[in-house]
Structure 1
Amino acid sequence: MARITIRDFHDDDLDAVVRLWWEARSSGERPVYSLAEVTASCRQDHAVVAVRDDEVVAAAVGRAAHAQGWIVFFGVAEHARTGDVTGGLLDALERKMAPLGLGTLSVLMPEGSRVDLLTSNGFQLEHKLRYLERQMPVQRRELELLKDLGGRILPRHLWEQVAGMRHEKQLLEERLVAPLAQPDLADRYGVVPPHAVMLFGPPGTGKTTFAKAVASRLDWPFIEVFPSRLGDGVSSMAAQLRSVFEQISELEHGVVFIDEVEEIASQRSDPPTPTQGVTNELLKIVADFRDREGMLLVCATNFVRALDAAFLRHGRFDYVLPIGLPDAEAREAIWRRYVPESVAPSIDFAQLVVLSEGLTPADIEYAARRASQDALARELRGGGGVDAGDGGIAAGGAGAGGAGAGRAAGDDGRVSGGGSRTALSTADYAAALRVTRATVSAEQQAAFSEDIEALARL
């Protein structure tokens, strides 16, 4: 049998390394690193091969990071698995990487691999270790394009932060997220992943928040297109819109969001309006999106009735989903987000939830921030809170929550033992609610209910 020699990797050896990687994969010893990573390290990092009769029968590929060496790939053809080949190959890679000043040479092996090939050559098996990986949402080539589009990668926890709103979240999870995130599961049930969806509801109800949460849940880039920014005086709004979406089409994945879409998708008329051309262009874009994989167009409107009828026909948007006012669970979560942790134990959140019924998330945020600002102003003017009888919070206040806000100071945690006062109390928040105007009127809420019956497509 011909003698095996070990030498540095040459570019001509790449095909052989690829073959060894596929052999390892097909034998059940699935390589930890992808083929693209292995081939890149062959060329850019450190690699050695074992050769017999001009055939590469084994390869070891490594890279260094922060004084630690990692074996990216270690593959030996089945007919060449001898101690001399394994040991010689590992020793050669170690010598090649030694000048880098490495403290350790480490390797990750999938379950089922023959770790004896390594333990017999000085490697120690460390237990209680798990290999985890996470795919990068945007590849390097896409970063500049995403920057030009004003897009961004959102934090991965936004979906969990949308507390309450169980019905809306369930709809989005079942209709949008699951088919896009698990296409194989969708295929099993004959579900076609969505390409375009319309969110509608009163202003301030969180449509943008939901769109961002979907992008976060999918781990896709989020790109917002602003109708008000289209048109630069040189090219038409339609041309600008087309140019933006041509750039977006170069991304592999993305959630594209258009808020207040009624600005460029209002009902067409005769004679044509100045925006009719951009409306026609948007209809073409929606049709193009239906042929794209890995992209989702989310449009949002406060006035779904104002949209051109063509947008709401079947075949344009997969779903037309209503997003209404926050439910009790969501209102409590919003309150807890803005009430300082230091005073939260003394706050009657159940009362605030009742008093804020019919308010949007933005309304509740305003009331919470106003209460905090008023408390700070009192501290700066006189030090501490105010007594229950002070004019800032009348004992029998009227308006939203007048009954609850009129409790004695000792009941809401304003006055504590020894006469000291807490900075904020339930009464402070109730007082702020009384001067907070509801964004959504009763008439708007009634119209929203009618729109759900007439236009929603779930």
Structure 2
Amino acid sequence: MVRIRQRPRVREAHADDIDGVVRLWQSVAGSGGAVYSLAEVIASCREDVAIVAVVGEEVVGAAVGRAAHAQGWLVFFALDDEVDPGVAGELLDALERRMAPLGLGTLSALVSEEGGGASHLEHNGFHEQRHLRYFERRLPVQRRELDLLKEVGGRVLPRDLWNAVAGMRQEKNLLEERLVAPLAQPELAARFGVVAPRAVMLFGPPGTGKTTFARAVASRLDWPFVELFPSRLGDAPGGMASALRTSFEKIGELEHAVVFIDEVEEIASRRGGTPPSPTQGVTNELLKLIAEFRDRPGRLLVCATNFVRALDAAFLRHGRFDYVLPIGLPDAEAREAIWTRYIPTDSLGDLDLPRLVEASEGLTPADIEYAARRASQEALGRAMRDGESAAGLETDDYLSALESTRATVSPEAAAEFSEDIASLARL
């Protein structure tokens, strides 16, 4: 191998050396050897410690370090192939001398199995710790986006919301296949010719969990969740249409986002009539915004409505919403999970849970929660009256509470929902 005849000079990095470090990182990344991202390496060059080997003004080697508490980390190390391997020791020694005053106990390095560099480390006093494993999680919101996310009322949701939606397997499978998989695994989706969705409409009777599913999708994708409230937009200076556009423009600056609009019929009702509907201008604006929203990757608009029939026909056309998905009443598995969530653990083993599941058919999650809390409240009152002789919670307590619970979804509404599935759903 032909080596560079002039021996490189080792010194601290200057601002003008960044381009050379980037070139080295790209060379290492091309062979699968980069552990830290380019952004992290550049940040450490500017803010932490960076040593370079140069021939003239050309950067032919670099060692970049970062201190965290008493631990030092080798963020990046690379050397051109033509450079004498002995320069590696000079780079690492210079980095160690520069970082020593920081009070570090150890200097550690993470090396990709695919990349090189391990031999240089072994020859310069680094010892491989075979019992260690490296884990990494990319944060869903970067620092520069935090203020913007707060401004639009968004937040990062807990990562377990998807698993917390028990039962409802048909709905979850549908959302997983249609929404989550194409967005989370775009390369796999492209292999099968699947285009990632940009917008989806969820419809169903009140209280069936449309908001819960929207939040669960955001949690599953690990994307920020931004909910827009039509009622609040209406109070903004300049009117609802202007507030809606401003909100979408700000959201457009985020790298990823699930945008949720509940009760979208408030701003997307049927147009027409004399005089025109007061919300007609807002509906027109929202239709334009959806078209623009669809041009940006890394975003998903989820709208929800209890009255899908009331929506303007233009909303449900192909090209605006990729899917129009029904969200119905909880199935038996979901009802069992809801009961389990609200029944005290000490009482759960003494109850006839299958009987409660059967008796609560046709109820929404909120209905079941109300019945469970009512039964607990009645049992507490009984204990206060009867003292130690009071019986604990029994199945009859819950059955009695169910008799006093009015179903949110009437049989007529359930029948209309079935008709809407047949005529409007797009799966």
Query: Deviation digits for residues 53-104 of structure 1, max 9, x if unmatched?
Result: 554322110001121000000111112252x322222121111111111111
Q: Give 2:212's match in structure 1, choosing from 199, 209, 212.
A: 209
Q: Which residue of 2 aligns with 1:285?
A: 289
Q: Give 2:82's match in structure 1, choosing from 79, 82, 88.
A: 79
Cα distance change of structure 1 residues 368 and 232 upon mapping to structure 2, 3 Å threshold: same
Residue 406 of structure 2 is aligned to residue 437 of structure 1: yes
Residue 40 of structure 2 is aligned to residue 46 of structure 1: no
SS state of the match for residue 126, structure 1? coil
* Structure 1 residue 233: Cα displacement: 7.0
Aligned counterparts of 2:335 and 2:389: Cα–Cα separation in 1: 26
SS state of the match for residue 75, structure 1? strand
Aligned counterparts of 1:385 and 1:49: Cα–Cα separation in 2: 81
Query: Deviation digits for residues 245-272 of structure 1, max 9, x if unmatched?
Result: 2222222211111111111111123210
Counterpart amino acid of 1:315? G
Aligned counterparts of 2:71 and 2:369: Cα–Cα separation in 1: 49
Q: Which residue of 1 aligns with 2:258?
A: 255
Query: Deviation digits for residues 163-213 of structure 1, max 9, x if unmatched?
Result: 111111111111111111111122212211111111110000000000101
Counterpart amino acid of 1:204? G
CA contact (8 A) 1:378 1:384 kept: no
Aligned counterparts of 1:337 and 1:50: Cα–Cα separation in 2: 62
Segment drifting more, 51-60 vs 240-249:
51-60
TM normalised by structure 2 equals 0.94
Cα distance change of structure 1 residues 291 and 428 upon mapping to structure 2, 3 Å threshold: same
SS state of the match for residue 155, structure 2? coil
Cα distance change of structure 1 residues 243 and 52 upon mapping to structure 2, 3 Å threshold: closer
Q: Which residue of 2 aligns with 1:315?
A: 319
Residue 119 of structure 2 is aligned to residue 120 of structure 1: no
CA contact (8 A) 1:378 1:385 kept: no
Counterpart amino acid of 1:129? L
Counterpart amino acid of 2:309? R
Cα distance change of structure 1 residues 385 and 73 upon mapping to structure 2, 3 Å threshold: farther
SS state of the match for residue 213, structure 1? helix
CA contact (8 A) 2:8 2:55 kept: yes
CA contact (8 A) 2:77 2:117 kept: no
Q: Which residue of 2 aligns with 1:396?
A: none
Aligned counterparts of 1:449 and 1:345: Cα–Cα separation in 2: 36
Cα distance change of structure 1 residues 456 and 109 upon mapping to structure 2, 3 Å threshold: same
State the structure with more CA Rg: 1
Aligned counterparts of 2:83 and 2:293: Cα–Cα separation in 1: 52
Cα distance change of structure 1 residues 454 and 119 upon mapping to structure 2, 3 Å threshold: same
CA contact (8 A) 2:53 2:60 kept: yes
C-alpha RMSD of matched pairs (Å): 1.7
Counterpart amino acid of 1:450? E
SS state of the match for residue 129, structure 1? coil
Cα distance change of structure 1 residues 63 and 443 upon mapping to structure 2, 3 Å threshold: same
Aligned counterparts of 1:143 and 1:38: Cα–Cα separation in 2: 22
SS state of the match for residue 91, structure 1? helix
Q: Which runs of 5+ in 1 are unaligned?
A: 387-420
Residue 407 of structure 2 is aligned to residue 450 of structure 1: no
Aligned counterparts of 1:196 and 1:114: Cα–Cα separation in 2: 46
Q: Give 2:146's match in structure 1, choosing from 143, 148, 153.
A: 143
* Structure 1 residue 344: Cα displacement: 2.2
SS state of the match for residue 79, structure 1? coil
* Structure 1 residue 228: Cα displacement: 1.2
* Structure 1 residue 128: Cα displacement: 2.6
Q: Give 2:395's match in structure 1, choosing from 426, 441, 448.
A: 426
CA contact (8 A) 1:2 1:53 kept: no
Q: Which runs of 5+ in 2 are unaligned?
A: none
CA contact (8 A) 1:385 1:424 kept: no
Cα distance change of structure 1 residues 54 and 262 upon mapping to structure 2, 3 Å threshold: closer
Aligned counterparts of 1:241 and 1:51: Cα–Cα separation in 2: 54
CA contact (8 A) 2:364 2:407 kept: yes
CA contact (8 A) 2:268 2:312 kept: yes
Cα distance change of structure 1 residues 239 and 14 upon mapping to structure 2, 3 Å threshold: closer
Query: Deviation digits for residues 264-316 of structure 1, max 9, x if unmatched?
Result: 11112321021111111111122222222111111111111111111112222
CA contact (8 A) 1:196 1:298 kept: yes
Paired-residue identity, %: 68
Superposed, 1:184-203 pairs within 5 Å as 184-203=187-206
Counterpart amino acid of 2:357? V
Superposed, 1:37-436 pairs within 5 Å as 37-82=40-85, 84-112=86-114, 113-232=116-235, 234-271=237-274, 272-384=276-388, 386=390, 421=391, 423-436=392-405
Aligned counterparts of 1:385 and 1:294: Cα–Cα separation in 2: 60
Aligned counterparts of 2:201 and 2:173: Cα–Cα separation in 1: 16
* Structure 1 residue 227: Cα displacement: 1.1
Query: Deviation digits for residues 211-251 of structure 1, max 9, x if unmatched?
Result: 10111111111111111112237422222222222222222
Counterpart amino acid of 1:87? G
Query: Deviation digits for residues 348-399 of structure 1, max 9, x if unmatched?
Result: 221211111111001111111122222222233332464xxxxxxxxxxxxx
Counterpart amino acid of 1:286? I
Aligned counterparts of 1:4 and 1:288: Cα–Cα separation in 2: 53
TM normalised by structure 1 equals 0.88
SS state of the match for residue 254, structure 2? coil
* Structure 1 residue 30: Cα displacement: 1.6
Counterpart amino acid of 2:106? T
Cα distance change of structure 1 residues 379 and 248 upon mapping to structure 2, 3 Å threshold: same
CA contact (8 A) 1:363 1:437 kept: yes
